[in-house]
Amino acid sequence: MKEIITGAEALMRSLMNEGVDTIFGYPGGSIMPVFDAMYDHQNDFRQVVVRHEQGAAHAAQGYARSSGKVGVCIVTSGPGATNTLTGISDAILDSTPIVVIAGQVASSVLGTDAFQEIDLVGVTQPITKWSYQIRRAEDVAWAVARAFYIASSGRPGPVVLDFTKDAQTSKVAYEPQIVDNIRSYVPYPKPDEKAIREAAELINRARRPFALVGQGVELGRAHNELRAFLEKANIPAARTLLGLSALPTDYPLSMGMLGMHGNLSCNVNTNQCDVLIAIGMRFSDRVTGNLNTYAKQAKVIHIDIDKSEIDKNVKADIPLIGDCKEILPLLTELLQPADHKEWIDSFSEYDAVEYEKVIEKALNPKEGHLKMGEVARKISEATENKAILVTDVGQNQMMSCRYFKYSEPHSVLTSGGLGTMGYGLPAAIGAAIAVPHRTVCVFMGDGGFQMNIQELGTIMEQKTPVKMILLNNNYLGNVRQWQELFFNHRYSCTPMLNPDYNMIASAYGIPSRLVVDRAELDAAIKEMVESPGAFLLHVAVEEEDNVMPMVPPGASICDMIFE
């Protein structure tokens, strides 16, 4: 005989059935039956109570992207649900699998503007893979199984379950369910063998092939397949912001980062190659610059699991729709060994220019205030280049991503598509919980840190050993940089009057250290890295330090400026 339980308990059982071990959340009236059921499952789930629902969504993202599992957060209705919208939006743009479960008023009063009622399904449909309202306890097991399947399969993304209060309290004869197929939903398209042959022939004829590696390689866990592909035909590769750790920094065929603040050689040679092979990337405007001048000389092969990305921004001569983990070996098998030495050597000429004009000054300043780049590189080296880099958004993001080094997959967590200030701190909490064996370093600016600074309370309570690096320039630095370059130094609303961050950290029981002089930096980094728990390294950096090189707005991707 099937056990008769409440809908709330059915949710707990269904989450256990999906292998969930951590729940990020915040209780409230319309979700109270679920939190009451959670009381009996304290040994089954790590229950992380954040200090704001936005933090719950970002923590679930950090958990998902560092572990490869689906992140879960549970919140109440109304403002509790709407506070997760930024995280949900971030997740859809960065293909992050999370399931957000929100309480809802009783089905009998839906549509009456009851207290804390909001049409969550209507609000979230444009920013989710699937959004569904559970009105009956009988639908819980099915809805949860379907939600996890949709969130994690194909191109991953967020799913929202809107859970009415009466469905939580009513009884059901519970039976676990598995969903592994949905009619009309094809998460893994079958590769086109004819197109793969055509692509291989094109690559074999190429004199200057160039691979652009995106997050799809990380999501598809196709790291080994990517290397085999690149090595067989000796193809140089560049990485997008979200794909940075798809290849180790010191991998011989990895040429650097693409995009607005990427490496000069990668951007210039995008417009010099004869065959462009895009692997699990979406041709973001931050990567392409002016589309009218982007790679017009090249034949384009685009590998992506999501058909909607094909021809969206850049016309593909040969689209290969499917999972890169499946497509790359099929393509590699048809490739002929090649040399391409002269082509690969051409990257070093541009690298030398960038090093002289930018990198040397960023990493080895002779005098003056501390630079963001030197801080990032020193911390990376102090962790033997094995740490997970989490960033907030702004100059701290670009500088740390440029100068951190990566030796392991799934080592970069950053808000790429939405550019969410406030992402860094809660995402780092999620990562530290998901992969406790790895060091998690989160870089933040003084603006983004304050957007979710309340999550220091979560760190205090959960004892998550997050290494926090605050690059404090007393500005909203990225906006200030644009104001300097394009708005005649009119610093409107970007100077920041900041609090005593070290005193704030102390209030949460978190050790910290303020570094102003370069001579103190190494010792402070050592103290942070060797600290067994959370630590705030507060670094006063040059106020008007700019992220260079840079592609100005509207310019060609290869027209980078250096000052």
Query: What stretch of H or E contains 350?
Result: helix 341-354
Stretches in the chain below the pLDDT threshold 50: none
Residue 2 has a pLDDT of 83
Return all residues near 283 (Cβ < 8 A) that are at least 6 apart: 309, 312, 313, 314
φ/ψ of 384, rounded to 5, equals 60, 30
Burial class (CB in 10 A: 0-12, 13-18, 19+), 466: buried
Burial class (CB in 10 A: 0-12, 13-18, 19+), 503: exposed
Q: How many residues does the chain have?
A: 563
d(CA 558, CA 68) in angstroms, rounded, equals: 34
Q: Which two tokens stand for residue 384?
A: 């033997």
Three-class SS state of 36: helix
Return all residues near 337 (Cβ < 8 A) that are at least 6 apart: 232, 233, 234
Q: What is the DSSP string of 195-259?
A: HHHHHHHHHHH-SSEEEEE-HHHHHTT-HHHHHHHHHHHT--EEE-STTGGGS-TT-TTEEEE-S
CB 552 within 8 A of CB 561: yes
- Each residue of 215-237: b (16+ CB within 10 Å) or e? bbbbbbebbebbbbbbebbbbbb
Q: How distant, in Å, are the alpha carbons of 249, 361, 472, 480 from that of 261?
A: 17, 16, 20, 16
Residue 1 has a pLDDT of 66
Return all residues near 526 (Cβ < 8 A) that are at least 6 apart: 382
Residue the block writes with tokens 């406790």: 436
Determine how many CB atoms are found less than 10 A away from the CB of residue 464. Answer: 21
Task: Look at the alpha carbons of 85, 129, 223, 210 in this order and tell me if their dihedral is positive or negative.
Answer: negative
Cis peptide before 27 (omega within 30 of 0): no
For 183-224, the pLDDT digits (tens) are: 999 999 999 999 999 999 999 999 999 999 999 999 999 999
Residue the block writes with tokens 């060994």: 337
CATH 3.40.50.970 residue ranges in the chain? 3-174, 370-540
Report the CATH number of the 3-174 domain.
3.40.50.970
Compute the radius of gyration of the chain from its Cα atoms: 24
Report the CATH number of the 370-540 domain.
3.40.50.970
**Which CATH architecture is the domain 193-347 placed in?**
3-Layer(aba) Sandwich (3.40)
CATH 3.40.50.1220 residue ranges in the chain? 193-347
